[in-house]
Amino acid sequence: MKCVQVALPGRSYDVRIEPGLLSTVGELVKQVAPHERAVLVADANVADLHAPVVAESMRSAGYEVLSANIEPGEQWKNLDTVRDLYQLLLDARLDRRSPLIALGGGVVGDTAGFVAATYLRGVPFIQCPTTLLAMVDASVGGKVGVNTPHGKNLIGAFYQPSLVAIDTDTLQTLPPRELRCGLAECVKHGIVRDADLFDWIEAHLDAILALDSATLVELVQRNVRIKSDVVAADERESGLRAHLNFGHTFGHAIEATQAYDSQHGYRHGEAVALGMVAATRLATTTGRCDATVLDRLVALSARIGLPTAAENLAPIDRLMDAMQMDKKLESGQLRLVLPCRIGEASIVTGPAPDDVARSWESLLPGR
């Protein structure tokens, strides 16, 4: 079993990575949150595939398990879903020692995590991510929260899990589109923090897409280590951690203008992929990085199957307005993470609006 520790003062936790881990997750939960009762909140897409395995493992470890499902999609990551989960927990009279387990992708992890952070002022929280995107990003670092019509993740908290248990075998049942979305976050880590990782993904992409087990374990471990190092250095995003928002300010604007309807529009990883292209074009046209960075990013994204141009973007004035709702604004000024070279990025505050608009325009086909 691979193990990466997220080292925080007084509340470090382990990220365990192993094929087949869900079948033994109950004993791991018992080590960090012993109790008689537990809550399993699953993404409805994986409830039939993986929830029975987790529930049986929890029961074998001595837990009574209360189960609930969350509908998939960013449009369900909202306060209505949170309210429904509160009602379930209150009706069952769950106490503050009962662990809450999130099984699924980033939507269930963020939503259930926000419930765990706020129910009785905090209960033990266990992340069992089943998508690549959640494994390498959302499940590690303690960001939890929900969307509103005003923007993405505007209501939330920093609430670290007690354990992250990653069963890489769940990627074998992941739709190819979701795997590609997760790879967008891996590419992001390479651009902003680790040139060797970017090179490794380029070299091992065929094995990744073929779902080679050992390659997937290494992919997840390398990315989790990057994320854990950043979180340990800057838990609450006062500096270094903000670099992980590369592509996200553009990407969140795309998601907001499509009303988080990932069934008919771009999914989170796809929106981030487009955002990375737009941000890198901005960095290139303003002289902050060499054009080869953009060339390699576009080439790798295309090989993965991620979008590098967008046919159905909202009008640019709407996208610009959506960016102004970004929670990372500083004194009303936009803050963008722009690459300097592969493996290094910087934060630019108050970029010229015309330059940002041209970056949006560059995503249109044929530009």
Which one from 16, 241, 267, 296 is the annotated catalytic residue? 241
Which one from 74, 178, 237, 255 is the annotated catalytic residue? 237
Known active-site residue 150 = no
Known active-site residue 241 = yes
Which one from 268, 270, 281, 296 is the annotated catalytic residue? 268
Which one from 77, 152, 222, 252 is the annotated catalytic residue? 252
Q: Name residue, tokens 């987790």.
A: 54
Which one from 77, 222, 248, 267 is the annotated catalytic residue? 248
Known active-site residue 330 = no
Known active-site residue 227 = yes
Q: Which of 25, 23, 14, 18 is nearest to 2 (CA)?
A: 18
Which one from 178, 185, 218, 235 is the annotated catalytic residue? 185
Quote the CA–CA distance of 67 and 73 in Å, as a whole number: 19
Known active-site residue 248 = yes
Which one from 16, 223, 245, 255 is the annotated catalytic residue? 245
Quote the CA–CA distance of 219 and 183 in Å, as a whole number: 9
Quote the CA–CA distance of 44 and 39 in Å, as a whole number: 15
Known active-site residue 35 = no
Which one from 16, 50, 77, 143 is the annotated catalytic residue? 143
What Rg value do the Cα atoms of the chain yield, rounded? Answer: 20
3-state helix, strand, coil in the chain (%, to 5): 50, 20, 30
Known active-site residue 237 = yes
Quote the CA–CA distance of 99 and 355 in Å, as a whole number: 48
Known active-site residue 245 = yes
Which one from 227, 243, 281, 296 is the annotated catalytic residue? 227
Measured CA distances, 2 to 16, 39, 54, 212 (Å): 6, 26, 19, 16
Phi-psi category of 364—alpha, beta or left, where left has phi over 0 and alpha has psi -120 to 50?
A: beta
Active centre residues (catalytic): 121, 143, 185, 227, 237, 241, 245, 248, 252, 268
